[in-house]
Amino acid sequence: MHPLISTEDLASALDSADPPVVLDVRWRLGGPPGRQDYEVGHVPGAVHLDLDSELAAPPGAGGRHPLPEPAALQAALRSAGVREGHPVVVYDDADGSVAARAWWLLRWSGHREVAVLDGGFAAWTAEGRPVTADTPSPEPGDITVRPGAMPTLTADEAAGFVRSGALLDARAPERYRGEVEPVDPRAGHIPGALNAPTSGHTSGGRWLGADALAERFAGLGVTGGTPVAAYCGSGVTASSVVLALEVAGVTAADAPAPLYPGSWSEWSNDPTRPAATGDTP
């Protein structure tokens, strides 16, 4: 399944005899809860999953959004109706990065049939497509979470990755440079990392095409032969880098880029780890 699905294709799939499971993962840093927006209106049949409580473990030594425990993730996905081998479509209402986190987690769990809605809820509503406030009651799914199908890095592995490949930082440039740090205890970036802001993956709310994404990564020195990995603030937006690399053809579905789940929220809490500032990696 391609990592992205158009609004047209989702609408057609929802009209089919066996529609995909649709997950609404709208969320905002600092609130209000995405569940409130979901209750006002959502794609018909969509089930809401919360990033903080269902798509991440509680914050702690592993960062602000550690990977969820497999059993907890399995329970959340089953309650949403996710079934083995059955297509899943996920969406948010921002830049697609939270939807990419859900996409990444499903792939990490061993579920390959998953795509992010291109343009998200904003594109869906802008086209006048149907929305509802009705909360569905899906039949429980039977997905089995088998963690590890997507590669990850520890802090030590992220530190060493820059010696052999490109470690991409998905945060905004001002956070990468260390000019501001609104969330984590220290400003800056992992020494040697390159800045690849999530905002550069989309235009007008839609994901860039494969050629445009490939050109963007090539400008960072990342091509098909380059070992590449990603991190961000708390391991969420870096998922969009992994997705964009696959769409661009820089990585393949069976050889995705590793992600550092703890990201800057874990790294910056360890005073023994260095922090670089400015535009220089």
The single residue of 25, 89, 90, 232 carrying the catalytic annotation is: 232
Measured CA to CA, the distance from residue 234 to residue 242 in angstroms comes to 14
Assign 5 to helix, strand or coil.
Answer: strand
For residue 32, cis peptide bond before it (omega within 30 degrees of 0):
yes
161: amino acid identity, one letter: F
Q: Label the pairing between strands 166-169 and 194-195.
A: parallel
Residue 232 appears among annotated catalytic residues: yes
Q: 238-248 and 210-219 are packed helices; what angle lies between their axes, rounded to 10 degrees?
A: 110
Decide: residue 73, CB within 10 A, 0-12 exposed, 13-18 middle, 19+ buried: buried
In which order are the strands placed within the sheet that holds 47-48?
Answer: 4-5, 114-117, 88-91, 21-24, 47-48
Decide: residue 51, CB within 10 A, 0-12 exposed, 13-18 middle, 19+ buried: buried
Rg (CA), the chain: 18
Task: Name the token pair of 171.
Answer: 């945060």
Give the count of alpha carbons within 13 A of 121, CB side only: 26
Integer angstrom CA distances of residue 173 from 33, 49, 73, 195, 232: 26, 29, 32, 7, 11
Element (H, E) at 14: helix 7-14
Residue 46: CB atoms within 10 A of its CB come to 27
Element (H, E) at 213: helix 210-219
Residue numbers annotated as active site: 232
